[in-house]
Copies of this chain bind each other. A is one copy, B any other.
Amino acid sequence: MIVGLGPGPAEWMTPEAGAAIGAASDIVGYAPYLDRLALRADQRAHASDNRAELNRARLALKLAAEGRAVAVVSGGDPGVFAMAAAVFEAIEEDPRWLDLDIAVSPGVTAMQAAAARLGAPLGHDFCAISLSDNLKPWAIVERRLRAACEGDFVIALYNPASRARPTRIVEAFDLLRRLKTQATPVAFARAVGRADESLILTTLGEADPGLADMATLIVVGSSETRFIARDGARVWMVTPRAYGARL
């Protein structure tokens, strides 16, 4: 079972995910996700490093082929920039792995948690782009950012920055600033649902991309996205369902 734990808090984890963890003999995942789980003495945790997705997938498939009941865990949704793709990338390496009984259990992903806190920024057509160029050429990221602007999508940016590539997020913002209005609403949503949650609402022109780290999900609005001001409370960020007057 490839399981999504959601963004962090137990109230955002599906009952199916909880049941899958409970039914597993072996739980395979990135160490901080395993730390969230209260495992029993008879369950075995296999923690690995963040970059090691493909080896983690192989370990899970090997254990499952040995007859173990394996749960591979991801934060968020395992289908969105997470372990489901890694498991299926590895699955053809051993013909026995293709015969395994595999299921994916969906979960709430970071952009949904961020959107919930912000109001309704994903209320209309949107796209999700990972800014990591570990596994794809940066030219593809640029091509997708350009296309996202051309299509006037709301853009959710995953993996915006890391110590290994601190300047990519700056390049991405430079590109977005050339193609979109400076007043476009932008949100930096960090660690939503966790104790160190923080939200920064700004505009494309004013945004400081240096604020983003690997725990940050960035939402860049479409031409229709706007802020709704409130007295004494954070503004709402909303993309209306109607694509309207400005056409």
Residues of A within 8 A of B (CB): 6, 9-16, 19, 53, 77-81, 84-89, 91-92, 98-99, 103-109, 112-113, 115-117, 119-130, 135-137, 139-140, 143-144, 146-148, 150-153, 228, 230-231, 236, 238-244, 247
Contacts and interface: CB of A to CB of B under 8 A. Distances in A.
11 contacts: A9-B16, A79-B116, A80-B123, A85-B123, A85-B241, A88-B228, A107-B108, A109-B112, A135-B242, A136-B242, A147-B152
Nearest to A6: B14
A182 to B, nearest CB: 21
Given A115-B104, A243-B136, A228 B85 contact: no
B14 A85 contact: no
Contacts of A130: 124-125
B15 A119 contact: no
A-side binding surface: helix, strand, loop or mixed? mixed
A125 B128 contact: yes
Contact of A236 (B10, B11, B91): B91
B126 A104 contact: no
A140 B174 CA distance: 25
Report how many copies the assembly holds.
Answer: 2
A128 B91 CA distance: 27
B151 A84 contact: no
B11 A15 contact: yes
Contact of A153 (B14, B103, B147, B228): B147
Given A87-B120, A104-B120, 9 more contacts: A79-B123, A81-B241, A88-B238, A89-B241, A91-B228, A104-B117, A127-B151, A144-B153, A150-B150
Contacts of A230: 98-99
Contacts of A242: 89, 135-136
Contacts of A137: 243, 247
